[in-house]
Amino acid sequence: MSPQHNRSSLREGPLADLFRRTDAPADAIADGGAIPTDSRYPAKVGLDADPAQILGLADVEPSPAELAPAAVPLVEQTAATVEAWGERRQPMHMTGGPSIRVVGVGGGGTNAVNRMVEAGITGVDFLSINTDAQSLQESLAGTTIHVGRTSTRGLGAGANPDVGRSAAMEQYDEIKDALRGSDMVFIAVGEGGGTGTGAAPVVARIARELGALTVGIVTKPFAFEGRRRAESADAGVQELSNEVDTLIVVPNNRLLSVLERNTSMVDAFKVADDILRQGVQGISELVTVPGLINLDFADVRTIMADRGAALLGIGHGTGESRAIQAAERAVSSPLLETSMDGAKAILLSITGGGDLSLWEINEAAETIREAAHPEANIIFGAMVDEKLGDEVWVTVVATGYEHQPHLQGGGVEVPERRRVRVPDGEPRVERRAPRESYAAPRQAVSASRPSTAAATSGWSVPEFHHDGR
């Protein structure tokens, strides 16, 4: 198990701050409204602020006339909140629960794992894999594996996926030993680099051969990083999609339209890292944290095993219609390019304060049901987090799309030389037929209720990658 940290709520961190600060003013900004100076949206709210003050901000219900001038730059408070993400709650240790591992591959994946460790995600073990020895020295993961020690001499893969793939094969047995006994493996990676793009499919193949439910959660590069890196990322996503049970893709380029022009690169990457953290925490805590309506690992496997493309939606709401509001925002997925339209398998988590009612749980679930396929299998859990006060949060993972959507611009053929091959003597597992291509489902919201986050349809989302990727 990784070093123990105080657990952050799923509802804390840069991404939660972004949601809270952009939900209310979304319509105004879309219409060219001015950035507000309203005292209800202060530039900074420190973690040591009076809880009543913080809850008071969340509970404000502005009138339609007040919404026009309402927004505050996320970056002004990101630096303050990232250092310690919210009120801490002691980790809950479970006995006999599933063995869940989060594997960061490459520089971007290693950085994402570091954020998760700092956030104190409980019930999981962390592993970092990289060709860059310096990056591994800074890793907070409980286990690190330096791949390609002979071929790269600890200097990285030079943005060459073939080098990253070969490096992972050098330490094939070591990776297999580290993953042995896992029930579920998350693979976090920044596509487009050398180690992450090349090594991630090898890690995924090993995890599935060991019988683990394998989920990829990856980012794609910014447009300014160049066509070559983008093409490498597309090929990497396609290759990885053929090796995992479920794959969630986050496009970094959308981050440019979400944050302010003066947002620093460091702060932007922190928000992007937090999206991966929210995704991993939102799924893992469904089975590691006891709730009002509990899920077991078999439920998660039912929804995510051998499913391909997936939607990850996160939304929150306050006030009288908070549950419906949170569900609609999760469905509209303002930070991810995906839609629930056509999803036949849905994993749903609803979290609220102590006053969360059964009626509200029903409202949220019904909103999600209306947005999915008529025959969708919906499995949901509900938890109470006293810190939330009046807020309700909804996390949804939608899978089971009948037709795997294509990447924008068309599918990417994976060259035969880049397909993963296991060493002689290693057990083979039957693989599903390669998909034509992988991408997020087409962008559309099919919920019958008008989306409260409709104005965010023009937003773009994060995807990150740092040095050594």
> Using an 8 Å Cβ cutoff, are 7 and 122 in contact?
yes
Contacts of 358 (CB under 8 A, 6+ apart): none
**Has 108 been labeled as part of a binding site?**
yes
Q: How many helices (H) and strands (E) does the chain have?
A: 16, 11
**Has 89 been labeled as part of a binding site?**
no
**Has 195 been labeled as part of a binding site?**
yes
**Has 107 been labeled as part of a binding site?**
yes
> Using an 8 Å Cβ cutoff, are 37 and 66 in contact?
no
The token duo for 440 is 């997020």
**Has 229 been labeled as part of a binding site?**
yes
Closest to 247 measured CA to CA, from 443, 104, 438: 438
> Using an 8 Å Cβ cutoff, are 133 and 21 in contact?
no
C-alpha distances in angstroms, 92 versus 6, 287, 289?
10, 12, 7
**Has 225 been labeled as part of a binding site?**
yes
Contacts of 312 (CB under 8 A, 6+ apart): 217, 248, 279, 282, 333, 336, 338, 395, 396, 397
**Has 158 been labeled as part of a binding site?**
no
What is the DSSP-derived secondary structure letter of residue 335?
A: T
The token duo for 149 is 């020690």
**Has 425 been labeled as part of a binding site?**
no
**Has 196 been labeled as part of a binding site?**
yes
> Using an 8 Å Cβ cutoff, are 287 and 98 in contact?
yes
The token duo for 458 is 């023009």
Task: Determine how β-strand 311-317 pairs with β-strand 143-146.
Answer: unpaired
The token duo for 11 is 């509802």
**Has 302 been labeled as part of a binding site?**
no
Q: Exposed (0-12), middle (13-18) or buried (19+): which is 93, by Cβ within 10 Å? A: exposed
Identify any residues that bridge with 351 across adjacent strands, giving them in sequence order.
Answer: 383, 393
Closest to 194 measured CA to CA, from 235, 156, 150, 221: 156
Closest to 62 measured CA to CA, from 112, 101, 24, 21: 24
**Has 194 been labeled as part of a binding site?**
yes
Contacts of 452 (CB under 8 A, 6+ apart): 23, 317, 325, 328, 329, 332
Binding site for GTP, by residue number, is 107-111, 194-196, 225, 229, 273
Q: Residues annotated in the binding site, as ranges?
A: 107-111, 194-196, 225, 229, 273
